[in-house]
């Protein structure tokens, strides 16, 4: 398990160095994510311990946002002056984004599924033709 913690911190550190030196215009954890994925893809196998570590930590991912979330208290006065545009943009914008993304992506799924069905029908027809 300690080995896996070291692995995660190692890639995070590499990401930190790459980000701070201006090598990559990406946040350090994202660089770390890409590097860990690349390592796993090259190995072709997920170490059991790493899977357990990820499951444990990601289970309470929501808790990790709590300290920053409490920071909302510090900005209440700033938020109050532009409450309407901010709330409308966040609630309206997020609802529109969720809805359009879901509907269009789902429409694509249905379209792909439908295109596959006639293919299967044609194949069956071809098989029948061969048989007769």
Partner 1 sequence: MSTLSQLSLTWVSLADKPVLETGATVFAFLAATRIARLGGNHPLLNPTLLAIILISLVLEATRIPYETYLHGADVIHFMLGPAVVLLAVPLFRQRAVIRASARLIAVALAVGLPVGVLSAVGIAWALGANSQTILSLAPKSVTAGIAVGISEQIGGLQTLTIVLVIMTGITGAVLGPMIARLARIEDPRVVGLAMGIASHGIGTARALQINETAGAFSGLAMGLNGVLTAILLPVVCSVLGFAR
List all residues 6 or more positions away from 3 whose beta carbon is below 8 Å from its beta carbon. Answer: 49
Task: Indicate whether 12 belongs to the interface with partner 1 (CB under 8 A).
Answer: yes
Cβ proximity of 35 and 18 under 8 Å: no
Query: Count residues contacting partner 1 (CB under 8 A)?
Result: 72
Go through 114-131 and write b for each residue having 16 or more CB atoms within 10 A of its CB, e for each that does not.
Answer: eeeeeeeeeeeeeeeeee
In angstroms, give the least distance from the CB of 34 to partner 1. Answer: 8
Q: Contact region for partner 1 (CB under 8 A) — 56-64, 115-123, 124-132?
A: 56-64
Among 6, 109, 123, 127, binds partner 1 (CB under 8 A): 109
In angstroms, give the least distance from the CB of 86 to partner 1. Answer: 7
> Which residue number, 5 or 23, has a Cβ lying nearer to partner 1?
5
Q: Contact region for partner 1 (CB under 8 A) — 34-42, 115-123, 124-132?
A: 34-42
Phi/psi-derived region of residue 89, left when phi > 0, alpha when psi is between -120 and 50, beta in every other case: alpha
């Amino acid at each position: 398990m300690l080995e896996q913690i070291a692995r995660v911190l190692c890639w995070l550190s590499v990401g930190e160095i790459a980000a701070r030196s201006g090598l990559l215009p990406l946040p350090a954890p994202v660089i770390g994510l890409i590097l860990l994925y690349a390592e796993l893809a090259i190995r072709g196998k997920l170490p059991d311990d790493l899977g357990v570590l990820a499951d444990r930590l990601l289970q309470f991912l929501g808790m990790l946002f709590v300290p920053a979330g409490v920071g909302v208290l510090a900005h209440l006065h700033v938020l109050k002056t532009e409450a309407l545009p901010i709330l409308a943009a966040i609630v309206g914008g997020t609802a529109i984004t969720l809805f359009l993304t879901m509907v269009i992506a789902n429409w694509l799924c249905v379209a792909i599924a439908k295109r596959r069905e006639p293919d299967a029908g044609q194949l069956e027809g071809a098989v029948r033709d061969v048989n007769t």
